[in-house]
Chain A
């Protein structure tokens, strides 16, 4: 081989639209109004994020309930060097957050400033974007005090 291999940046991108359906449409419309809706199961427990079907029994679910905008970190990992397209440009934590009133935790970002502010069991609350559009990126969590 006489010449070195060619190399070049390569971006693979994939854009698509997905119909949200009745449950997720309500969920995202509520987010635009700065409210969070979970889904109540027949046994009274609440799923967040909401699901269209009960993951255990498979029955249809449609009783959505409003949850608090604050909750508890059940697990987390620190992201010291955020990459492009991650939710924050400064270092942050990905955390599982169980909102008050929910029985399941969901993954989101915590803008904690530094890793030593993070701990399992800590309280966090939502900080909404100036303009909400009905997307999961309409908020991030911040430590609550």
Chain B
């Protein structure tokens, strides 16, 4: 395909689309129903006490199922453990360039959540304290899309020692 009918055709535009009916399963369904209520749920491994967030049904380290009693509620605040400034567009990401992607370690969790941070490019840093910016409550559904992005909060940076195992 080319823009001009006389130009040679030099580019192939590929578009792969796969349609699924996704079934969340017990653990992710419970997680998403909590997100609908504005809450974050993690699951604590009965073997070593690590908290997995989002919750996932079983521990990938110890291969033990997470029972209902393993569920723990977490806050919507956390620490940026790593980040990237994105300057290259993706056709299916409607964000204005440049934007910041972050891995956020939610307080009390041992696994990081990937999301977008609304902050000045010069300000973002490892250890930065951030909080989820939720959509208006009337728009909440059983979806992580309830969280629009993360925003910096006015708290001292987390000490590197507190998150170095989670980068």
Q: Does A135 contact B (CB under 8 A)?
A: yes
A6 with B28: CB separation less than 8 A: yes
| Interface size bracket, A side | 20 to 34
Give the bracket for the number of chain B residues in contact with chain A.
Answer: 20 to 34
Contact of B92 with A by CB under 8 A: yes
Tell me the bound Cα distance from A69 to B13 in angstroms.
25
Q: A11-B17, A13-B18, A85-B17 are in contact. Are A32 and B23 (CB under 8 A)?
A: no
Residues of B within 8 A of A8 (CB): 21-22, 24
> A15 near B91 (CB under 8 angstroms)?
yes
A134 to B10, CA, bound (A): 9
Cβ contacts A1-30/B at 8 Å (1 or 0 each): 101111111111111111110001110110
Comparing B1-9, B44-52, B73-81, the segment that makes contact with chain A is: B1-9
User: Taking A15-B14, A25-B8 as contacts, is the C-beta distance between A135 and B1 under 8 angstroms?
Assistant: yes
Residues of A within 8 A of B23 (CB): 5-7
Interface contact B9-A9, CB-CB below 8 Å = no
Are A6 and B9 in contact (CB-based, < 8 A)?
A: no
> Is the pair A11, B20 in contact by a Cβ cutoff of 8 Å?
yes
Q: Are A5 and B26 in contact, CB atoms less than 8 angstroms apart?
A: yes
Where the two chains meet, the residues of B that have a C-beta atom closer than 8 Å to any C-beta of A are: 1-2, 5, 8-26, 28-29, 32-33, 91-92, 142
